[in-house]
Chain A
Amino acid sequence: MRKLLFQSLFRQPLTEQAPRPDDAALAELAAMVGRTARRRLGRSLSIREVDAGSCNGCELEIHALSNPYYDVERFGIRFVASPRHADVLLVTGPVTKNMREALERTYRATPDPKWVVAAGDCARDGGCFAGSYAVVGGVSAVIPVDLHIPGCPPSPIAILRGLVSLLEAVDSGVAAR
């Protein structure tokens, strides 16, 4: 373990290597999230993720936001364990009828001001599950949504970009719910 830790001390952080244009875009995006989040919400933005019936594809990419390449925590964006600690609900999946009440209760448990981000094509309108006897539809059919992030699943970059758009909208005076 000592060797691994030792190497980590001297190796360039993965986040700052910019061999491909993708990584350059990420760095630019990252700085923007950092500035805006700080201005609006002090130093932090707390996100509670809610799977309202997804296939777990979106969860994989949301997880990736915390890996050393994207490392959202360096901007003060954190995933929290309870809706009571959250500023933002990040909701995935078509909302299933079996999850509807749980989603409503999670929303009610989140203190104001709060924002809701719906991630993934299913969260917009139910995606390819729309019309099923077991599906309500998109997230906005159950709780008010401030932003949709498209993709099946959206890439970690797309999710970061989405969070920036939200922060900018918030900054320009869109009231929270």
Chain B
Amino acid sequence: MPRLIDLIRAGHRIERHHPWPRAVVDGDTWRTTAHAFADGGLSLLGLWGEPSRVHMAVLDERTSDIGVISLDCPDRQFPSVAAHHPPALRLERTLHDLFGLQAMGIPDSRPWLDHGRWQTRFPLGERLDASVDAAPYQFLSAEGDSLHQIAVGPVHAGIIEPGHFRFTASGETVVRLEQRLGYTHKGVEGLMAGSTIEQAARLAGRVSGDSTVAYGLAFAQAVEAAQRIAVPPRALLLRALMAELERLANHLGDIGAICNDASFALMQAHCAVLRESVLRAADAAFGHRLMRDLVVPGGVARDIAGDGADAIRAALDQIRRHFPALVELYDNTASLQDRTVSTGIVAPTLARQFAAGGYVGRASGRDHDARRKPGYLPYDGLRFEVPVLSDGDVNARVWIRIREVEQSLALAYQILIGLEAGPVQVPLHNAAEPCEGMALVEGFRGDILAWLRLNGDRIERCHLRDPSWFQWPLLEAAIEGNIVADFPLCNKSFNCSYSGQDL
């Protein structure tokens, strides 16, 4: 089985790509890599394109190495990875929609983000004008006696993002779920190309609003890697503080919302109070409830307010006082457990195959956390544990969140103690030569990949891969054999980002 380092050595190594290597390889090495994904030695972290080039980010599961394999495809064709490794499928369909790059041998060539409404085809490649053609999308079929279809969305019943779910059910039991996403596609990568670093940072913070800190951090780290800039220690700690507050707020919101989808509103009310206390503390400390536009390349945009640390400590204390009773409530309410235990199971093999990050992966035995592997500052100096379970059901995804709330609390306290005076931002260089950088950052939902090429103070190309890309398909698998009425519960336990995957 090939190691990543061998695959990189087999290609032409690109200078000025940091912190991990990138190599341009030939078609054979590309195919070898695709087979290695299927064997399980390597994991796919991302697959993205340029007008006549494809890249994939690879994680070597044995050595924890990360690298990028690139293939030039002047004829706009490349060997399909999805033919051997299904997690690449939606990414390859997207490559065709955005760039016109054709994956040869792809098992499903339907469009993904392109709904036929852009008046243009291949918007990031060689553009073609197109008339608006909203031809009906061909959903996959399921055949058998007394099957019926239920179409849901894109406008849903709750206050959530738009997407379409097509269920095929036999009575109450779901036989097949097929997702159709792309409704919130805003063309972020198109807007970023040619923009200034500052404009692109704002866009990165708006890829998925609930992860605005994590996206800001991923983008900033990629810029800093490309320009080889070291961020001051205080800025690193403030960034981690914001990231942990964001994780706390989202996990608290999710725990409540999952229970609410099992009609247990009491938990929702209590968790919402704790979530609100985090947001108010963030507002007091950093001037924005979601801490948007605060992590910027070079550091943080503003220092914590004078009484900010006290406000945050008060919120943390409140959670530490009240959360254990809520955990006990969750654990001891049989009617609630009846809904969450053994519902929506993701098999550990699937989580591994899709390299699913966050609570989806960790509830199904995949022990991966970008704060640990590859790891980034300041987490090497902080104590925390990465909880892992293997049941893979809704209950396990709730428990992972509960444990992570406890870990984030502990981390936030440590950071507040370790906060020392100092600068919070350093200026960026204005590099003469193009340079490339990438980053892998742990958002509340999982690992966010950022890759970019800078040319002076401009972004030449930037790709941001949301963790949801490798989680959405697992939801299709998780719901199979469950009843339709449990779908909201399963969906909330995943809480994938629509906007993050639609980009």
What separation, in Å, do the CA atoms of A102 and B161 have in the docked complex?
12
Once A1-B332, A131-B191 are accepted as A-B contacts, the answer to whether A14 and B273 lie under 8 Å apart by CB is: yes
B321-359 to A contact mask, C-beta < 8 Å, 1/0: 000010001001100000000000000000000000000
- B19 close to chain A: CB less than 8 A: no
Contact: A58 with B209, CB < 8 Å?
yes
Contact-residue bracket for chain B: 35 or more
- A111 close to chain B: CB less than 8 A: no
Smallest Cβ distance from B332 to chain A, in angstroms? 7
Complex interface residues of chain A between 77 and 116 (CB less than 8 A to chain B): 79, 81-83, 93-94, 96-102, 106
Q: Please report whether the interface of chain B is mostly helix, strand, loop or mixed according to DSSP.
A: loop
Central interface residue in A5, A51, A53, A63, by most chain B CB within 10 Å: A51
Contact: B187 with A132, CB < 8 Å?
yes
Contact: B159 with A59, CB < 8 Å?
yes
Contact: A60 with B186, CB < 8 Å?
no
- B456 close to chain A: CB less than 8 A: no
What separation, in Å, do the CA atoms of A135 and B186 have in the docked complex?
6
What separation, in Å, do the CA atoms of A27 and B269 have in the docked complex?
19
Smallest Cβ distance from B290 to chain A, in angstroms? 6
A-B contact count (CB 8 A): 147
Contact: B199 with A134, CB < 8 Å?
no
Q: Determine the residue in chain A with the shortest Cβ distance to B115.
A: A98
Contact: B269 with A55, CB < 8 Å?
no
What separation, in Å, do the CA atoms of A143 and B115 have in the docked complex?
21
B150-168 to A contact mask, C-beta < 8 Å, 1/0: 0000110111111000000
Contact: B186 with A102, CB < 8 Å?
no
Cβ–Cβ < 8 Å partners of A102 in chain B: 154-155, 162, 183
What separation, in Å, do the CA atoms of A68 and B90 have in the docked complex?
40
Contact: B160 with A69, CB < 8 Å?
no
Cβ–Cβ < 8 Å partners of B147 in chain A: none
What separation, in Å, do the CA atoms of A84 and B325 have in the docked complex?
40
What separation, in Å, do the CA atoms of A121 and B195 have in the docked complex?
20
What separation, in Å, do the CA atoms of A96 and B114 have in the docked complex?
12
Complex interface residues of chain A between 15 and 71 (CB less than 8 A to chain B): 49-64, 66-69
Smallest Cβ distance from B326 to chain A, in angstroms? 8
What separation, in Å, do the CA atoms of A4 and B208 have in the docked complex?
34
What separation, in Å, do the CA atoms of A136 and B273 have in the docked complex?
37
Complex interface residues of chain A between 131 and 162 (CB less than 8 A to chain B): 131-135, 152-153, 155
Contact: B266 with A57, CB < 8 Å?
no
What separation, in Å, do the CA atoms of A54 and B188 have in the docked complex?
12
Of the candidate stretches B5-13, B27-35, B117-125, the one touching chain A is: B117-125
- B419 close to chain A: CB less than 8 A: no
Complex interface residues of chain B between 176 and 204 (CB less than 8 A to chain A): 182-188, 190-191, 199, 202-203
Cβ–Cβ < 8 Å partners of A129 in chain B: 186-188, 191, 203, 206
Top 5 A-B pairs ranked by shortest CB distance?
A57-B209, A67-B272, A132-B187, A81-B157, A134-B187
Please give the residue numbers on chain A whose beta carbons come within 8 Å of chain B beta carbons, in ascending order. 1, 3-5, 14, 49-64, 66-69, 79, 81-83, 93-94, 96-102, 106, 127-129, 131-135, 152-153, 155
